[in-house]
């Protein structure tokens, strides 16, 4: 059904807090509601989610058209049945969250992976249109249509948007990059080196201290910047290793999906610490059996947080091809992409993605 100016309730369900928003016309229309995450049982989790959405309904005092939000997987997102969640110890599979909420609120409910919704929000109302607008303003004909969204936090999440369509996959597993190969240890998946626990573990080992799970990446970030604590070298090393592992995976993704990469999530605030190693891993060479080397990616990858690289990226390499005396074609001859941090931030982009996903479903 088509709905005019629908109000959509959204949720960013993190392991620490549940953040609820109400959105209309792509904008948040009331104060957000933030409740402590309740993850010890299905009943308490459901009660907290219902409380948050009921509070939003009370605040906006208008009918809602749908609920749409991110929730950790594994899950069958089409049916809204949540699986066994490592970071939500009270949820142990076959948790029918979507049907329960639809029954309670008497409206459609859409649940997706947070990485998927982050990418969708960035593709429709974030980095992708911003980059295309900047290219147009620079007089360049290049236009990007695809986006790879990556979130860095407790673990690593990902979403893929191809020509405006969210790639969810046949099994709601369209971008499970946490299970890709690990540069540092072939026996591990990559999340063992790109996660909160990875930074904690590497820091403790390098500093030769006991592992402290209360010491979060933001604290290690401060140590690396010399703001507090000791073992600055160990802190810097932990983010360097994190960046190398991340760059290794991003290069592999770029060889499959030709698009922009946008990074968000809490650990993205440490960009200046991990980005040099990340770009180094992306740009390193493959060695061939004959001793020659080739680039890791078939397209040039820019760090457009660097102003000089940004200008080169926007300028490109425009050329005119002669077709006939009456016809020439102007085009950009530089195959390229960029890795950039989200300006919206992960939470906002997830909410925007949830909103637009609900709109797409309501209008079908």
Same CATH fold assignment for domains 8-113 and 127-343: yes
Residue 2 dihedral angles phi and psi, to the nearest 5°: -95, 130
Provide the token pair at 306: 């660097």
Provide the token pair at 261: 């990469």
What pLDDT is recorded for position 328?
A: 86
Q: Name the residue with tokens 């046949």.
A: 170
Average pLDDT of the chain is: 92
What pLDDT is recorded for position 189?
A: 96
What pLDDT is recorded for position 134?
A: 97
Q: How distant is the alpha carbon of residue 26 from its chain centre? A: 19
Beta-bridge mates of residue 9:
22, 67
What pLDDT is recorded for position 168?
A: 85
Residue 245 dihedral angles phi and psi, to the nearest 5°: -65, -40
Provide the token pair at 326: 């009456």
Q: What is the pLDDT of residues 154-166, one digit of tens each?
A: 899 999 999 999 9
| Calpha distance 117→70 (Å, rounded) | 7
Question: Between β-strands 109-112 and 27-28, what pairing exists: parallel, antiparallel or unpaired?
Answer: unpaired
What pLDDT is recorded for position 37?
A: 86
Q: What percent of the chain has pLDDT over 70?
A: 99
Q: How distant is the alpha carbon of residue 342 from its chain centre? A: 9
**Residue range 185-203: mean pLDDT, rounded:** 96
Torsion of CA 43, 47, 53, 56, to 10 degrees: -170
What pLDDT is recorded for position 23?
A: 94
Helix (H, G, I), strand (E, B) or coil at 11: strand
- For the domain made up of 127-343, the CATH class stated in words is alpha beta
**Residue range 108-128: mean pLDDT, rounded:** 95
Q: Cβ contacts of residue 295 below 8 Å, gap of 6+? A: 283, 285, 286
Number of Cβ within 10 Å of residue 364's Cβ equals 7
What pLDDT is recorded for position 3?
A: 60
**Residue range 195-208: mean pLDDT, rounded:** 97
Name the burial class of residue 349, with classes exposed (0-12), middle (13-18) and buried (19+) by CB atoms within 10 angstroms of its CB: buried
Assess whether pLDDT exceeds 70 at residue 355. Answer: yes
Q: What is the CATH number of domain 8-113?
A: 3.30.420.40
User: Where are the alpha helices (H) located in the chain, listed in sequence order?
Assistant: 42-60, 97-105, 114-125, 127-137, 196-207, 217-224, 232-254, 271-283, 307-315, 346-362
Question: Between β-strands 336-341 and 300-303, what pairing exists: parallel, antiparallel or unpaired?
Answer: parallel
Q: What is the pLDDT of residues 13-70, one digit of tens each?
A: 877 788 899 999 988 898 999 999 887 889 999 999 999 999 999 999 889 999 999 9
What pLDDT is recorded for position 104?
A: 97
Rg, the chain, Cα only: 22
What is the domain partition of the chain in residue ranges?
Answer: 8-113, 127-343
Provide the token pair at 134: 């900047």
Q: What is the pLDDT of residues 216-266, one digit of tens each?
A: 999 999 999 998 878 999 999 999 999 999 999 999 999 999 999 999 999
Confidence of residue 169 (pLDDT cuts 50, 70, 90): confident
What pLDDT is recorded for position 2?
A: 55
0.95 exceeded by the pTM?
no
| Calpha distance 170→157 (Å, rounded) | 18
Closest CA to 58 of 19, 98, 27, 31: 31
Beta-bridge mates of residue 148:
160, 261
**Residue range 264-283: mean pLDDT, rounded:** 97
């Amino acid at each position: 059904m088509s709905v005019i100016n629908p109000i959509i309730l959204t949720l960013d369900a993190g392991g620490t807090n549940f953040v609820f928003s109400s959105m209309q016309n792509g904008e948040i229309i009331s104060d957000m509601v933030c409740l402590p995450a309740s993850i010890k049982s299905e009943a308490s989790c459901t009660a907290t989610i219902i409380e948050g959405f009921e509070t939003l309904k009370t605040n906006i005092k208008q009918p809602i058209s749908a609920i749409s939000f991110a929730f950790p997987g594994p899950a069958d997102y089409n049916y809204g049945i949540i699986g066994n969640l490592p970071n939500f110890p009270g949820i142990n599979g076959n948790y029918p969250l979507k049907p329960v909420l639809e029954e309670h609120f008497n409206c459609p409910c859409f649940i997706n992976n947070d990485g998927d919704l982050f990418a969708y929000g960035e593709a429709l109302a974030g980095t992708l249109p911003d980059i295309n607008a900047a290219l147009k303003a620079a007089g360049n004909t290049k236009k990007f249509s695809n986006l790879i969204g990556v979130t860095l936090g407790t673990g690593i999440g990902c979403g893929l948007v191809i020509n405006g369509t969210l790639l969810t996959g046949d099994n709601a597993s369209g971008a499970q990059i946490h299970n890709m190969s690990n540069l540092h240890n072939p026996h591990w998946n990559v999340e063992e080196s790109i996660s909160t626990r990875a930074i904690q573990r590497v820091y403790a080992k390098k500093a030769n201290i006991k592992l402290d799970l209360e010491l979060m990446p933001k604290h290690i970030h401060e140590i690396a910047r010399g703001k507090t604590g000791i073992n600055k070298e160990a802190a810097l090393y932990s983010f360097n290793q994190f960046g190398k592992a991340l760059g290794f995976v991003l290069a592999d993704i770029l060889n499959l999906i030709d698009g922009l990469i946008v990074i968000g999530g809490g650990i993205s605030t440490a960009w200046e610490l991990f980005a040099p190693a990340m770009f180094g891993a992306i740009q390193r060479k493959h060695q061939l059996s004959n001793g020659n080397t080739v680039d890791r990616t078939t397209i040039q990858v820019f760090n457009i947080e660097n102003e000089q690289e940004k200008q080169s990226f926007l300028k490109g390499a425009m050329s005119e091809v002669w077709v006939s005396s009456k016809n020439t074609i102007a085009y950009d001859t530089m195959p390229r992409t960029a890795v950039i941090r989200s300006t919206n931030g992960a939470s906002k982009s997830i909410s925007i993605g949830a909103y637009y996903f609900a709109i797409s479903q309501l209008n079908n």
